[in-house]
């Protein structure tokens, strides 16, 4: 490990890229601590600490929402915009075709940035309305000012993310979320030991063991894949033979990464956020329905079950979005390749689809358990500060693995260039 660190430090351009990325992340963390004027920060942080739904929103904002900072919405609107275009590609053939070439992908990226701006405006207004009781008396002008400021903060983070991605150290958006999660760790650890009780020693040790096992499980599932053997047909031209090689088609256990959890969060938070606006409605049945929804969502068991089911279902849904067995079967047939024992064409498509569904079952079950892990830990330990975020660990581990792979790829490239 130390040899690799030494190689990274000696590679001047790689070292500069890493230092540049760290400097950008430092700038982001400084801005995340600049709150919008007129906010009761202490009361707001207590609310986010006690509300699981708002805590998840804060996670994907990169931690800026908890402080109601200039980067209140974080990269959330940009992620939402990206998801919208991924879904549109399923139903708009021209958009799907555009994403197959470089010029088309650049246009889609530009449209994604444009859509981010109105989404950020809408989401910032929603957060202002939802948390209005924690803000000072604000005028309509103040509301507009906050919306413009926080939208500018989202665009700024989007720009930072693209700058980070250009350095080929890791995905910029993921690293911004990663930085927000890691920045919370010292505070969470301090909160745990500030109320340390010797009788809780066994609980804390058990918690550490669960955390280590969780990290190992995430690495195994993230890197896990099933290799489908692919045989290329042998062709004889004159006295020369072409093809006949055997390769493999990798099918990942977790194809969707953390995206299914983001989908589930968006759906599960929507009813509660809408109910917040109607709990004091003049129409009695609307007010009662809003209150019932808020009580139901505050029930940890009901919330956990719904969250698990949504993550499980969206894992299959997102796999359908990004994995197309019909196209893979068609490409294999055009290349003169086939899966041993499976006929090319329809049978290959059905085989890939059935195999994928079986593999994804493990990935969907794992993601569902990771999503509700904080609720399970809290129910056993009765310590709120130990409610380890499975989603947070998933993001951190995935980002670290991606960073290590990209840095190793750059080191390998330099070795070949040196030869």
In which residue are the tokens 């055997």 written? 246
User: How far from 159 is each of 69, 173, 198, 217, 307, CA to CA, in Å?
Assistant: 18, 10, 47, 33, 32
State which of 193-207, 241-255, 392-406 shows the largest mean pLDDT. 392-406
Do the first three CATH levels of 12-194 and 197-388 match, i.e. the same topology? yes
Query: What does the alpha-carbon distance between residue 75 and residue 66 come to, in Å, rounded to a whole number?
Result: 14
Specify the pLDDT at position 387.
47
Query: What does the alpha-carbon distance between residue 139 and residue 4 come to, in Å, rounded to a whole number?
Result: 56
In which residue are the tokens 């086939």 written? 338
Question: Under a CB-based contact definition with an 8 Å cutoff, are residues 308 and 364 in contact?
Answer: no
pLDDT in tens, 209-230: 777 877 888 888 878 888 888 8
Domain extents for the chain?
A: 12-194, 197-388
> Could you tell me what percent of the chain has a pLDDT over 90?
4
Region 76-92: what's the mean pLDDT?
A: 81
Region 12-35: what's the mean pLDDT?
A: 86
Chain centre distance of CA 211: 19
Q: Is residue 403 scored above 80 in pLDDT?
A: yes
Region 307-315: what's the mean pLDDT?
A: 87
* CATH number for the segment(s) 197-388: 1.10.3370.10
User: How far from 415 is each of 9, 18, 255, CA to CA, in Å?
Assistant: 15, 19, 31
Specify the pLDDT at position 419.
43
Specify the pLDDT at position 235.
60
Residues 6+ apart with CB under 8 A from 259: 83, 314, 318
Specify the pLDDT at position 133.
65
Rg (CA), the chain: 24
Weakest-pLDDT range from 27-31, 256-260, 413-417 = 413-417
> Could you tell me what percent of the chain has a pLDDT over 70?
79
Return mean pLDDT, the chain.
78
**What is the sign of the dihedral through the CA atoms of 77, 51, 298 and 126?**
negative
Region 21-26: what's the mean pLDDT?
A: 90
| Best CATH choice for the domain 12-194 from the list 1.10.1740.10, 1.10.3370.10, 1.10.10.1110, 3.30.160.250 | 1.10.3370.10
pTM equals 0.76
């Amino acid at each position: 490990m130390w040899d690799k660190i030494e190689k990274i430090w000696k590679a001047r351009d790689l070292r500069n890229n890493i230092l540049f990325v760290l400097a950008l992340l430092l700038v982001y963390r400084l801005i995340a601590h600049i709150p919008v004027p007129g906010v009761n920060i202490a009361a707001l942080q207590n609310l986010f600490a006690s509300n699981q739904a708002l805590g998840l929103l804060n996670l994907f904002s990169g931690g800026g929402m908890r402080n109601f900072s200039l980067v209140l919405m974080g990269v959330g609107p940009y992620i939402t915009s990206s998801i919208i275009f991924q879904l549109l590609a399923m139903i708009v053939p021209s958009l799907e075709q555009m994403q197959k070439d470089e010029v088309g992908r650049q246009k889609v990226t530009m449209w994604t940035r444009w859509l981010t701006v109105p989404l950020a405006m809408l989401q910032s207004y929603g957060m202002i309305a939802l948390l209005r009781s924690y803000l000072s008396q604000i005028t309509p002008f103040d509301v507009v000012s906050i919306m413009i400021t926080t939208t500018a903060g989202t665009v700024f983070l989007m720009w930072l993310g693209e700058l980070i991605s250009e350095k080929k150290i890791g995905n910029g958006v993921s690293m911004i979320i990663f930085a927000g999660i890691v920045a919370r760790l010292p505070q969470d650890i301090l909160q745990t030991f500030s109320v340390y009780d010797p009788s809780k020693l066994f609980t804390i040790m058990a918690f550490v063991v669960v955390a280590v096992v969780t990290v190992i499980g995430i690495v195994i599932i993230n890197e896990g894949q099933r290799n489908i053997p692919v045989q290329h047909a042998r062709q004889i031209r004159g006295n020369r033979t072409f093809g006949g090689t055997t390769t493999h088609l990798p099918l990942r256990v977790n194809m969707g990464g953390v995206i299914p959890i983001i989908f589930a969060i968006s759906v599960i938070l929507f009813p509660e956020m809408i109910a917040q606006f109607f709990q004091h409605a003049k129409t009695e049945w609307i007010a009662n329905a809003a209150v019932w929804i808020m009580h139901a969502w505050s029930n940890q068991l009901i919330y956990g079950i719904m969250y698990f089911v949504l993550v499980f279902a969206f894992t299959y849904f997102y796999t359908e979005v990004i994995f197309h067995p019909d196209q893979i079967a068609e490409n294999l047939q055009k290349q003169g390749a086939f899966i041993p024992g499976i006929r090319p064409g329809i049978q290959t498509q059905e085989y890939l689809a059935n195999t994928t569904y079986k593999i994804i079952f493990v990935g969907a079950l794992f993601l569902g358990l990771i999503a509700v892990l904080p609720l399970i830990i809290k129910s056993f330990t009765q310590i709120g500060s130990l409610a380890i975020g499975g989603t947070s660990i998933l993001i951190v581990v995935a980002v670290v693995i991606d960073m290590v792979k990209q840095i190793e790829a750059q080191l390998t490239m330099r070795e070949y260039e040196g030869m």
